Amino acid sequence: MRLAWAHAKAETLQLVRIPAYALATLAFPVIAVLLFGGRVDDDPERLVAGFTATAVLAIAFFQFGVGVATSRLYTEWETFLRTLPTNPSTRLAGRVISALGFSAVAVVLVGVTAILVYHAHFGWGRLAALAVALVLGAVPFALLGVAFGYWLPPRAALPAANLLFLVLAILGSLWARPPDDLPREADITSQLLPTRSWVEVLDSIATGDHRLPLHHVAALVAWSLVFLALAWWGYRRDEGERFT
């Protein structure tokens, strides 16, 4: 565990020192909230749910997917790390911890913006529950990002992650509640996406309008397991290519 922290720290330091990355990741969701927020007549609380999720999703994708993919370019360093007395799970844990840290900062920024600009209102208990749901809900996406990074060639990972990010964000209704007249097929598609499950859970917690949708919680757990398997498989496969 101590080792996972050490890897997380090194990972985080590397990202923080590249201002273009750090600023883009942290500023993008805030700008998005300011751009889209005024036009959506959702509750400000639902706005917070959707855009904090967006922020975390972006981190899972671009920090992880692309992070893993490009770190494979530093093969010599990766190879050296493999000679140290530890196994792959430690590095994976390090990456997850680092993503959670980044997410926390991004979420606070979005939350503060929404509270100041759109007068979103949260009790302390609700805020805490939201934070927990964000952190836990980020796990499947972080794993998806890692899987993505390992499965795609480094050069393809960035554009592909962009595309998938947009699809998941829009179809998963992160940026606005789905309209009531949405065709049934489209709604089912949306319901099946992990982003939709996540935002439904966050929505229920943030607004307090309706009960926690347990089937979406179950779906998120299932997605986590699927993505974990994919990430692990991808890692082994990549390792198999380079290290046998």
Partner 1 sequence: MTVVRLAGWIATVVLAVAVAPRIDPLLDEGAAAVPLGICAGAILFAVLARKRISPAALVTVPRERLLARTVVITVKAAHEEAVWRAVLLGVLVGPIGRAGALAVSTCLFAAAHLNRLGPRAAQHLVTGVVFGLAYLVTGRLAAAIGAHAAYNVLIGVGRLSLPDLSVSATGEPARPIVRSSDRSRLFSPRAVLRSAVSSPSVASLVAVSKTFGEVRALDGLDLDVRPGEVVGLLGPNGAGKSTAISIVLGLRRPDEGRAVLFGRNPRETGARREIGVVLQEVSLPPVLRVGELVQLVRAHYRDPVPQSELLERLDLGELARTQIGGLSGGQRRRLAMALALAGRPRALFLDEPTAAIDAGGRRVLWRELSAFAAAGGAILVTTQQLEEAERYATRLVVISHGRIVGEGTVGEIRARVGKATIRLRAEHLPRVPGATVVESTLDRHVVYVDDPERYVAELVRSGIRYQDLEVARPSLEDAFVTLTGDET
Residues that bind partner 1 (CB under 8 A): 2-3, 6-7, 9-10, 13-14, 17-18, 74-77, 79-80, 82-87, 89, 243-244
The CB-of-77 to partner 1 minimum distance in angstroms stands at: 5
**CA distance readout (Å), 213 to 183, 203, 209, 210, 220:** 21, 10, 12, 8, 11
Nearer to partner 1 (CB atom), residue 180 or residue 244 = 244
CA gap 242, 244 in Å, rounded: 6
Cα angle 43, 142, 163 (rounded to 5 degrees) comes to 75
Nearer to partner 1 (CB atom), residue 17 or residue 210 = 17
Nearer to partner 1 (CB atom), residue 8 or residue 219 = 8
The CB-of-93 to partner 1 minimum distance in angstroms stands at: 11
**CA distance readout (Å), 226 to 12, 73, 158, 193, 221:** 26, 26, 22, 13, 9
Nearer to partner 1 (CB atom), residue 77 or residue 186 = 77
The CB-of-224 to partner 1 minimum distance in angstroms stands at: 19
136 Cβ contact partners less than 8 Å away, ≥ 6 residues apart: 220
Which stretches does DSSP call E strand in 99-187? none
The CB-of-244 to partner 1 minimum distance in angstroms stands at: 5
